[in-house]
Amino acid sequence: MSIRKALRKPDELGSLELFSELDEDSDSRLALNDSRRIDAVVSRFGQGLRTALDIPARVHGWRTQGMFPAVVLALGGIRLLTAEDAGSYYFDDAYGPAKAPDFRVITARGEHLLVEVRNVGPAYTLKKRTMSEAEFQGAQRYADWTGARLMIAHYWAGPNLWTLVDSRALTPFGGTMRLTLEEALPANEFGMLGDAWVGTTPPLVLSLVADPAQPRTVDDQPGASHASFVIGGLEISCRGRRLEADLERRIAWSLMAFGGWHAEENVEVDDDGKVVQLSYRFEPAEPVEAPQGFEIVGPLSSLYSALYNLMTLDEDGEVTSLRRSAKPGILRDLIPDDYWDDPDRALPLWRLNLHPREAAEAG
C-alpha cells in the first residue's frame, strides 16, 4: 500500500480560492485583476494574519491541527485523509447548527471518521478538557448527516501523547462536554490508524568512539569538564550487545532520539586520561517494578510528534512553523512486520497493539 498526496497547485488554485473568499462582496464592476481589487484582498489577508499570529493559543492550536495529519500519514494506516473544514459549507439550520470537524479519515478497514483536533498545553494535562455543548452537538450533527463517526483527537503536549476517542467518551457538564487524560487513555482508538506502543530491553547506549590517532584530551575545570576528541566511530548497543544490522541501528536510533527515556552522559577515559568514548545511556526514568523482560519506550505517534516538535518549535517552545509535510508510512516501515522472524535479533522489540476498553470487553 502506498499513500500519495493528491496533486494540486496551492500557489495558484489555493490563491484563487482565498481570493474568491475574501473578495466575495467587492465591487464587481472592477476587473478581477484590477490592482485596487487585488490590493484590498491582500490588505484584508495581511490584517487577518497579523491578528491571528498575535494570539498564542490559536497559533499553537493551528500547529497541532497541522501535526495530526502528519502523524496519521506517517503511521500509514489509512485510505484517505482530507481537511473537512476547508472552504465554505451550507446547512439547514431548522435542525440546529452544523459544524464541520477538522478532518475526514477513511481507515484501512473502510470506516469513515470525522475528527475534531484539540491541543492540550502542558499546564492543563491533568485538568478536564472541555468543548461547548453547542459546538459538540454541531459537530455530531454534521457527522450524522454525512454518515461518519465523530472522533475527538487530543494532543497532550506535556506527556507528548495522542488520544483519539469516540464522541461518546465525552460527558456533559454545565453546558460543556468534558474529558480527562485518565478517561481518554482507556478509550483511545489511535491504533486503528496504525499506532502502536513499542518496547525494548534497556539500556540503549549510543557511543561516540574517539579516533585513537587524533588528540583526545579532558580539560577539568571547577564545576565543569570539557572533552576534546575526533569521532572515529559510532556504536549502538542494547543491553550490552552491539547492534550491527542497519535496520536495528535505525530503529534504536529512533527510539533514543525521539522516545521518552532518560539519557545519561558519560565520558570514558583510559589509564593515561585520554578520551576513549562519549556515551549516552538511555533508560526509563521510572522502570516498572515487576520484571516483564522489557520496558515501554512509547507509542509510534509520540516518536513522530517529538520529531515534528523539533521541526516546528524553538528551544523555548515558541512556534516557528505551522505545518511540515510528512513522509507517508515512515512509521509503518520503521519496524517491518517480519522483524520478529529472526529469533536472534540483537535489538529485542515488543509491539503492543492497544484497543479501547469497550472494544476489548465486547470482543
From the candidate CATH numbers 3.40.1350.10, 3.30.420.40, 3.30.565.10, 3.90.76.10, the one assigned to the domain spanning 53-193: 3.40.1350.10
Q: Cα dist. 74→192, 213, 323 in Å?
A: 14, 42, 14
Domain ranges of the chain: 53-193, 198-352
- What is the three-class DSSP state of 128? coil
Q: Cα dist. 178→118, 134, 283 in Å?
A: 12, 13, 35
User: What is d(CA 23, CA 18) in angstroms, rounded to the nearest whole number?
Assistant: 8
Whether the Cβ atoms of residue 191 and residue 179 lie closer than 8 Å to each other: no
Q: Can you give the pLDDT at residue 362?
A: 46
User: Three cell numbers at 336?
Assistant: 517491518
DSSP 13-47: IIHHHHHHHHTTTS-TTS-TT-HHHHHHHHHHHHH
Q: What are φ and ψ of residue 296, in 5° steps?
A: -75, 130
Question: Which spans in 292-354 are helix H?
Answer: 300-312
Q: Cα dist. 211→206, 273, 314 in Å?
A: 16, 15, 33
Angle between helices 35-53 and 56-75 (to 10 degrees): 90
Total residue length of the chain:
363
Cell numbers 589509564: residue: 271
Contacts of 3 (CB under 8 A, 6+ apart): 73, 76, 78, 328, 329
Q: Can you give the pLDDT at residue 19?
A: 85
- pLDDT tens for the chain, 363 residues long, are 577 777 667 777 788 888 888 888 777 788 888 888 889 989 999 999 999 999 999 999 999 999 999 999 999 999 999 999 887 889 998 999 999 999 999 999 999 999 999 999 999 999 999 999 999 999 999 999 999 999 999 999 999 999 999 999 999 999 999 999 999 999 999 999 999 999 999 999 999 999 999 988 887 666 656 778 899 999 999 999 999 999 999 999 999 999 999 999 998 888 888 899 999 999 998 877 667 789 999 999 999 999 999 999 999 999 999 999 888 999 999 999 999 999 899 999 999 998 887 654 544
- What is the three-class DSSP state of 219? strand
User: What is d(CA 75, CA 192) in angstroms, rounded to the nearest whole number?
Assistant: 10
Contacts of 7 (CB under 8 A, 6+ apart): none
Q: Cα dist. 230→59, 227, 243, 277 in Å?
A: 42, 10, 22, 10
